[in-house]
């Protein structure tokens, strides 16, 4: 029987606080703020429990429930643990990096600009922007970071056609950060918060 530290952390952080099953996706999104290694271990633990349940190893699952003090939580019985695994695993996979999805320059940036309309008279909140990006998953994050590098490079090289395309995409939605004095700090702040 393996130690399930990451599942225990997740359950203590979210299920002891009364988060319902309807908010499980929000809990998984918030949980993504931990390190990649911890997220990988979390998935391994979920797969381990899933394997035990698939093989009808309910006695071992019950021992895990008892040894980790899950009584009084939503996973205090086999049915709850099964529901937990069935709810969590697809969400973990939804947010994982999918290498088969090719990068298309400025596609992620355009999506963000179309999705989050930042009024010109409002100051941009980097933490809010970054937390919104986190909800899109690892593939989107990687592509968005590549888009920011693309923007940075276009302005460094003074590539007029790329700059024109970037500004056209952003100006269509009233976003002027890329032709302002805050462009570099915006890129730096967002890149750091996504690292």
pLDDT in tens, 43-66: 999 999 999 999 999 999 999 999
Report the alpha-carbon distance of residue 53 to residue 47 in Å, rounded.
10
Q: How many CB atoms lie within 10 A of CB 71?
A: 10
Report the alpha-carbon distance of residue 45 to residue 40 in Å, rounded.
9
Q: What's residue 146's pLDDT?
A: 96
The pLDDT mean for the chain works out to 86
What does the pLDDT average to over 100-112? 93
Distances (CA, A) of 60 to 6, 65, 66, 78, 98: 18, 9, 10, 10, 33
Residue that has been written with the tokens 């029987």 in this structure: 1
Sign of CA dihedral 94, 131, 24, 34: positive
Q: What's residue 120's pLDDT?
A: 47
Q: What's residue 25's pLDDT?
A: 86
Question: Which residues are CB-neighbours of 152 under 8 A, at least 6 positions away?
Answer: 184, 187
The answer to whether residue 97 scores a pLDDT higher than 80 is yes
pTM: 0.75
Report the alpha-carbon distance of residue 33 to residue 149 in Å, rounded.
22
Radius of gyration for the chain, computed over Cα atoms and rounded to the nearest angstrom: 21
What does the pLDDT average to over 118-123? 50
Q: What is the pLDDT of residues 154-184, one digit of tens each?
A: 999 999 999 999 999 988 888 888 888 889 9
Report the alpha-carbon distance of residue 90 to residue 85 in Å, rounded.
9
Report the alpha-carbon distance of residue 35 to residue 23 in Å, rounded.
22
Q: What is the pLDDT of residues 4-18, one digit of tens each?
A: 999 999 988 877 656
Q: Which of 50-59, 73-82, 116-125 has the highest mean pLDDT?
A: 50-59
Q: What's residue 190's pLDDT?
A: 84
Report the alpha-carbon distance of residue 11 to residue 68 in Å, rounded.
10
Report the alpha-carbon distance of residue 115 to residue 96 in Å, rounded.
21
Percentage of the chain exceeding pLDDT 70: 91
């Amino acid at each position: 029987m393996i130690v399930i530290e990451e599942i225990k952390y997740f359950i203590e952080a979210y299920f002891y606080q009364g988060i319902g099953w309807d908010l499980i996706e929000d809990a998984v999104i918030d949980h993504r703020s931990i390190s990649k290694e911890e997220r990988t271990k979390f998935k391994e633990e979920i797969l381990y429990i899933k394997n035990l349940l698939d093989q009808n190893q309910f006695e071992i699952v019950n021992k895990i429930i008892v040894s980790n003090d899950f009584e009084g939580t939503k996973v205090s019985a086999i049915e709850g643990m099964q529901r937990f695994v069935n709810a969590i695993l697809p969400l973990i996979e939804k947010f994982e990096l999918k290498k088969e999805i090719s990068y298309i320059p400025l596609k992620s940036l355009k999506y963000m600009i179309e999705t989050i309309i930042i009024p010109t008279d409002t100051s941009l909140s980097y933490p809010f922007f970054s937390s919104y990006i986190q909800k899109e998953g690892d593939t989107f994050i990687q592509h968005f970071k590549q888009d920011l590098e693309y923007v940075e490079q276009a302005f460094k090289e003074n590539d007029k056609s790329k700059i024109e395309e970037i500004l056209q995409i952003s100006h269509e939605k009233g976003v002027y950060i890329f032709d302002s004095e805050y462009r570099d700090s915006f890129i730096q702040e967002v890149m750091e918060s996504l690292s």
